[in-house]
Structure 1
């Protein structure tokens, strides 16, 4: 039995948390997974416990910067029987698990890059500190990494640097294709529940309302579109630090009648069938699961050019610069809106490009049993 310690999950549901939740909905043969979460809770912790995983907790580095090294060292000394330590990150600012993992355990170290930039959620000062630490600690990370995983080529280059490109192992962010394929029944059902007329064009903004996701830009784009076509509505699915800013924007721009704040939902796949367009003007992403799910569903997707090109798997996925004014985004949306879209068949492109979670699960199994190695 291959024993794996997954490090880097948080209490918030995001791309990393969803990846491992989806991966482990079915057992991976001859592999056992435990989790080390930062904070006092772990997203999906009840599910992980139900499948037999142990969950350990550690304070965040931010909450105990002077004790963090000793906490990591002590934990790894006391839990040194894992075959792999799998660290999930978007930055090399934190090196402790690679460095102390090599020093105090016999584990192989996996570093998995999930982004192309450090999140700015913690403010300008901490962002600057992390950028400095990223430069200082980069060599400690790469020197003590055995397997260089990434969700896209851009995320791999951003974390490890260009000279490690030949070592990259791309693990695609697989999705549950059956769940997210378009359903006409769900479309009618959700439009009825939300009291949305069949003739309306429905936009969606799905994900954490955080600076990275740039939700206020999405609000501006929708407001501009609504001025040209008031037979439209926006569904905001998710919560986060910028929730109140989004609400203030809605109130200040008299959008209360055409924006629905739905919060965190467990029916996202059904809401996608209800909708027509996904907006994702993110400042940066590794490879967003939400976009792959939306493409599987056949939504017309308008993403920022900062999102990696591997995200595009259907012709109805378009990239626009976040530097462009909202008027240009809307002009592009209106131009592309006339394109025919056979939503029922879009899931086939996901399968063809091997973004099914079943493909990802098998690929991960091969990595862990040694059939796939760097580059």
Structure 2
């Protein structure tokens, strides 16, 4: 068995983390085991499940600039104490530079950088992240991405392999009885329900979403908005909702474990993000046969349901509202052939990652005459 060290921020219920768990649940764990190196001091939502499947969770120092010296000392000691890790797989985009640099210094032979986005959050580390982005190929020696645009953003002209942001499709197929039950739980009857799932952050563009929704309410007083997720911008967004006088129309549902059921309660899914890789929530929403409206900053690769459309962020809130209202009355189906055959179904996709790892294992263990085989990016 080979143990893969996945490097993440944490393992809370969010898109990247849920995608990783989808692969972890389906991959052959007699051959490949996932462990997780996180950068938060507390337990995350998925930690107990990881432990139950034989995985391990480690808690590294936060990746704050003032912590970098402490961080590299911690990582040096970590790799000295854990010589079993020959493959590290980092998922924190440009910030992957730091753990992969530590891995390179420790002599970890396979250092995978995985791109999950097409831009960078504009936080206090923005300039550092830009520097790390341009340095990432100096510390990684294998490259993965969720899609073409995400790969080109982080790796430039380097060759990379696409691993689909796959989900457990059957969990999301539309189910009328679940819809009725969940809407009753939420106190909904005949309301027109607009749904959004995502971290309340700069990237997800909630302030624009609230402006759009305020225009929807002007046209349809029966509309409501469900916001699932938490994040650093929540206080600002709540304040905006109050200032527009629509607080009775907007529900902040926080982090939820029943996301697959919440999709059933919705009538349309809206994601006006400033940038995306391949949004897992967009894939899940399509498997529930929801009409989906994405911003034009979302890669077109996400679309596999003909009920999905893209609208420019330069388009007015009024026009967004009109397009959202045009989805009213759509009758959803439980399954359809274009959904069942999607490469975003984990039952098909997990084998891609499993084979990828097994090829690496073979490359590491086979005698030197095969060591020169080109894997597209090489092992340096």
Q: Distance in 2 between matches of 1:5 and 1:264?
A: 26
How many angstroms does 1:42 deviate by? 4.5
How many angstroms does 1:313 deviate by? 0.8
8 Å contact 2:7–2:38 — kept in the other structure? yes
What's 1:87 paired with? 90
Q: Which is further off, 290-299 or 105-114? A: 105-114
Q: Deviations over 1:193-221 (max 9, x none)?
A: 222123x2110111211111111111111
How many angstroms does 1:113 deviate by? 0.7
Does residue 158 in structure 1 map to residue 153 in structure 2?
yes
Structure 2 unaligned blocks of 5 or more: 363-374
Q: Distance in 2 between matches of 1:42 and 1:307?
A: 31
Structure 1 unaligned blocks of 5 or more: none
SS at match of 2:62: coil
Q: Distance in 1 between matches of 2:145 and 2:324?
A: 31
What's 2:42 paired with? 41
What's 2:371 paired with? none
Q: Deviations over 1:198-253 (max 9, x none)?
A: 3x211011121111111111111111011011121111111111222222222222
SS at match of 1:345: coil
What's 1:99 paired with? 101
What's 1:187 paired with? 179
Q: Which is further off, 281-290 or 1-10? A: 1-10
Q: Which is further off, 56-65 or 23-32? A: 23-32
Could you say what the CA RMSD is over the residues aligned between the two structures, in angstroms? 2.1
- With normalisation by structure 2, the TM-score equals 0.88
Q: Distance in 2 between matches of 1:336 and 1:285?
A: 23
What's 1:110 paired with? 112
How many angstroms does 1:61 deviate by? 2.0
8 Å contact 1:89–1:115 — kept in the other structure? no
What's 2:168 paired with? 176
How many angstroms does 1:104 deviate by? 2.4
Q: Deviations over 1:68-119 (max 9, x none)?
A: 333323322332322311111221x542333342342343121111111122
- With normalisation by structure 1, the TM-score equals 0.90
Q: How many residues align?
A: 361
How many angstroms does 1:47 deviate by? 1.0
What's 1:343 paired with? 333
Q: Which is further off, 185-194 or 71-80? A: 71-80
8 Å contact 2:96–2:113 — kept in the other structure? no
The equivalent position to 1:60 in structure 2, one of 42, 62, 71, is 62
Q: Distance in 2 between matches of 1:142 and 1:261?
A: 40
Q: Deviations over 1:302-349 (max 9, x none)?
A: 1111111111111111111122220121222334557x5543235x42
SS at match of 1:65: helix
